[in-house]
Chains A and B, each alone.
Chain A
Amino acid sequence: MFSFRKKYNKVNLLKYSRFDIVLCVILAIVMLSIIIPFINVIAVSFTSQQEYLQSSVLIFPKKPTLRNYYDLFKDGRILIGYRTTIIILLIGLPLNLILTTSFAYGLSRKGFPGRKLIFYLVLFTMIFNGGVIPMYMLIKELKLTNTIWSVILAYGINTFYMIIMRNYFSTLPESLIESAKLDGAGEWKILFSIILPLSMPIIATITLFYSVDRWNEWYYSMIFIRNANLQPLQLILRNIVIDSQVRAQAASSGAILEEYKFTNGLKMCAVIVTMLPVMCIFPFLQKYFVKGVLIGAIKS
């Protein structure tokens, strides 16, 4: 496919037509429209409040300052957020992976009684779910509100990811398992020494997806956790940026003293600190995310 693509391009090399040029320009504009908002966030985060109010900061502040970052970490809430999110990630991610991998592998095996039933039970949860209210009632009945366990347990298996994984396991040749059995390997040995090592690409991809989901989690914690010391990063960012925005707009004179604690620069610092980990790892791992899509696309 790709070698053909290259040939196809070489043939047309002389015709790098207006078409190509227009295309490249359009896509460059698309890229800029994605990048510029980020650059602006970075610029504002290094801008003092006085400069921000005097003139618009576009790409680079005239007098860059680290003051906002200093204030943000002195406020300390963002660190609480980091702590909670990392704890949720450390406990929740292994849970996600164990549940999803074992369930997906189980479902990928053929010919055990009840396979169809279990599959339809799972499929039904994709079509029909009660939404957040019944979930909230359940968490309350389980007495998990105001603990991070609520957030960790409520997101155990993502059925989409599970099915992607199951499809991958299904593509592994059955003969592999059969021949290992002939060699006297037990079922567990087959799983741990043949299936899992062969499935590292999909496991890596699903790990990434779950990590991002855990990192970005805010909704369940907003509903289940009222304790400010247990709020994850995204929720704290929400409190810093969006709530103060809402309140500032509600009191249109904007004279509430508390709002001034969060200058725009400070808010943008919080944005950057929140997305920094994703931003740092993403360029290196992007191909694994894409791989997940490719594997998922094979079935459908």
Chain B
Amino acid sequence: MSRIQNLAREIWKNRMVYTLLLPGLIWYIIFAYGPMGGLTLAFKTYKASKGIWGSPWCGFQNYVYVFRDPAFLASVWKTLYINIGRVLAGFCAPIILALMINEIPFNRYKKIIQTVATFPQFLSWVVVSSIMINFFSYNGPVNFILSLLANKTVNFLGNEKIFIPMLYVTEIWKTTGWYAIIYLAAIAGINPEQYEAARIDGVTRIQNIFYITLPNIMPTISIMLILTIGNLMSAGFDQVFNLSNAAVRDVSEILDMYIYRITFQSAPDFSFSTAVSLFRAVINMVLLLMADRIAKLLGGEGLIG
């Protein structure tokens, strides 16, 4: 009895905290957990007349259809293929840039580079794609220089062989500067005595980078890696969707574009789409938890708990 009374007293004492939490909590319940309830549709046959809750259950029937669709399996592999390449390119580039910026002896120059390099991150992929489509078009500067040097032009964004590397290039162009800032923030937190000691020992700058700077930003690197791996299944929609066109459809249909296509472009079967969505969400979660576990095993810091 007294325990319940105590609890009630505690809750009353903290009534202001609950009042503050309430609006956000309502939002989370409706707009984050509400859709999760909708995921039950993956195991139902959707009948528009009966709504999500009234539609009859059908077990794993939807998944039988999903795994029979060759376009689905192909999109899973394409997603992994594209995003693993992106992890390699988009993950290493910022570290290298941060290390380079950090070594620059002129503070003003440093600031200018940071401002310029972070800017593209704050544009949407719609804008960035438009810029890139212009830049790599037949009349654009790249093809102009190519035609002068090699006397030929390349359809960069309309060629299946070049399209995926183009994804890496544009990804690096947009995000490198911003992620470099994150590493620079970590570098700024390194205890300067370490460099002082190294200087007395006559260590070269290259050695400084490998023996002091890099080991010190390892925790940040591992967290960024967890986040990137956790996004292997879901990353890239904005970019691929805006950069791709009919000519590269065969190489560019990643899982999210597949979901978009089956839901919004043909006659939609919401149960089927939801089944694919749930599959994607589960794989995502598994990837994230796995990456987190691995990071902890390697002695880095985890993301969760």
Give a binary string over A187-219; 1 marks a CB under 8 Å from any B CB, 0 the rest: 110010000000000000000000010011111
- B38 near A130: Cβ-Cβ < 8 Å: yes
Task: Given A109-B14, A113-B14, A283-B115, verify A132-B259 contact (CB < 8 Å).
Answer: yes
Task: Given A20-B104, A138-B38, A286-B118, verify A188-B16 contact (CB < 8 Å).
Answer: yes
- B129 near A122: Cβ-Cβ < 8 Å: no
Contacts from B to A (Cβ < 8 Å): 7, 10-11, 13-14, 16-18, 20-21, 23-25, 27-28, 30-39, 41, 51-52, 97, 100-101, 103-106, 109, 112-120, 122-124, 126-127, 129-135, 137, 139-141, 143-144, 158, 173, 177, 181-182, 185-186, 188-189, 192, 195-196, 199, 205, 219-220, 223, 230, 234, 237-238, 242, 245-247, 256, 259-260, 263-264, 270, 273-274, 276-278, 280-282, 284-285, 288-289, 301, 303-304
Main secondary structure of the interface of B (DSSP, over half): helix
- B109 near A249: Cβ-Cβ < 8 Å: no
CB neighbours of B282 from chain A (8 A): 128
CB neighbours of B177 from chain A (8 A): 34
CB neighbours of B109 from chain A (8 A): 24, 27
Contacts from A to B (Cβ < 8 Å): 1, 4-5, 8-9, 11-12, 16, 19-20, 23-24, 26-27, 30-31, 33-38, 40-41, 44, 52-53, 56-58, 98-100, 102-103, 105-107, 109, 111-113, 118, 121-123, 125, 127-138, 141, 153-154, 156-157, 162, 187-188, 191, 212, 215-219, 223, 234-235, 237-238, 241-242, 245-246, 249-250, 264, 267-268, 270-271, 274-275, 278-279, 282-283, 286, 289-290, 293-294, 297, 300
Minimum distance in angstroms from A201 CB to a CB of chain B = 15
- The chain B residue with its CB closest to the CB of A136 is B263
Task: Given A40-B134, A297-B189, verify A8-B195 contact (CB < 8 Å).
Answer: yes
Residue in contact with B104 in the complex, picked from A27, A100, A153, CB distance below 8 Å: A27
CB neighbours of A157 from chain B (8 A): 24, 27-28
Q: Which of B105, B192, B230 has the most CB of A within 10 A?
A: B105
- B127 near A271: Cβ-Cβ < 8 Å: yes
| Nearest 7 CB-CB pairings of A with B | A103-B24, A134-B35, A216-B124, A134-B38, A56-B144, A112-B14, A106-B21
CA–CA, A35 to B37, complex, Å? 46
Task: Given A36-B141, A156-B27, verify A133-B274 contact (CB < 8 Å).
Answer: yes
Residue in contact with B196 in the complex, picked from A4, A26, A250, A270, CB distance below 8 Å: A4
Task: Given A40-B135, A56-B144, verify A134-B17 contact (CB < 8 Å).
Answer: no
List 29 A-B residue pairs with CB atoms under 8 Å apart, sorted by A's residue number.
Answer: A4-B195, A8-B195, A23-B104, A24-B106, A27-B101, A33-B173, A34-B173, A37-B131, A56-B141, A102-B21, A102-B23, A103-B21, A103-B25, A112-B17, A118-B21, A127-B284, A127-B285, A127-B288, A127-B304, A135-B31, A137-B52, A138-B31, A212-B122, A217-B124, A241-B126, A249-B158, A264-B137, A278-B122, A297-B182
Q: Which of A19, A111, A191, A238 has the most CB of B within 10 A?
A: A238
- The chain A residue with its CB closest to the CB of B13 is A112
- A34 near B245: Cβ-Cβ < 8 Å: no
Minimum distance in angstroms from A8 CB to a CB of chain B = 7
- The chain A residue with its CB closest to the CB of B39 is A130
CB neighbours of B118 from chain A (8 A): 286, 289-290
- A268 near B144: Cβ-Cβ < 8 Å: no
CB neighbours of A242 from chain B (8 A): 126, 129-130, 133, 242
CA–CA, A278 to B124, complex, Å? 10
Task: Given A246-B245, A300-B301, verify A24-B104 contact (CB < 8 Å).
Answer: yes
- A128 near B7: Cβ-Cβ < 8 Å: no
CB neighbours of A12 from chain B (8 A): 105
Minimum distance in angstroms from B114 CB to a CB of chain A = 7
CA–CA, A19 to B247, complex, Å? 45
CB neighbours of A278 from chain B (8 A): 122-123
- B35 near A129: Cβ-Cβ < 8 Å: yes
CA–CA, A247 to B33, complex, Å? 38
CA–CA, A270 to B124, complex, Å? 14
CA–CA, A97 to B270, complex, Å? 34
Q: Which of B17, B34, B119, B182 has the most CB of A within 10 A?
A: B17
- The chain A residue with its CB closest to the CB of B139 is A56
